[in-house]
Amino acid sequence: MTGSLSARVGSHPAGLWIIKHLISPIDRSIVRISGGHLPTLSSLAVPTLQLTVVGRRSGQERTIPLVYVRDGKCLVVGNARPAGERRNPWVLNLRAAGRGRIQLGKRMIAVEAHELDAVETERWWQPLTKVWPAFADEYAATGERTLFVLEPTP
């Protein structure tokens, strides 16, 4: 699922439903059962990490697969709100918590999260949309996007 195919699937309402209700739960199960030894469905198409962050209301851990690009030791993740959808809870939870942990393959890494400002967002927007072109369609439809840099902590 590369290039224009991922843009069509990821920005179409049916594709969004499939990702949200089928692929993401399957990915979480694959990681939980295999301990990261097996690749997730989404990682076969794009670079994907599993982000775990504490819910701002529930206080419970929430895990979601996210597309990322690398910046040295740090990783940049983002979200563009699709038309007709509410803001993604992981964005609000990460903004509130300021930290979480990621799983890349077998490695679990504690991270601090820093929301990118407008200048940094512009710098990282193109690399993210190159990996997941659907972000561009979603952003064009709503004008809403949020990017974070995840920095490993000791």
What is the CA angle 9-127-137, rounded to 5?
Answer: 35
State the CATH number of the domain containing residue 94.
2.30.110.10
pLDDT tens-digit map of 54-107: 999 999 999 988 999 999 999 999 999 877 777 889 999 999 999 999 998 889
Q: What would the DSSP string read from start to end of 101-122?
A: EEEETTEEEEEEEEE--HHHHH
12-68 confidence digits (pLDDT tens): 667 667 666 777 677 777 666 766 656 665 555 678 899 999 999 999 999 988 999
How many domains does the chain divide into?
1
Q: Residue 147: name the closest of 137, 123, 138 by CA.
A: 123
Supply the pLDDT for residue 145. Answer: 95
Range(s) of the domain holding residue 136: 3-152
Neighbouring C-beta atoms of residue 152, cutoff 10 Å: 14
Dist. CA 54–CA 72, nearest whole Å: 26
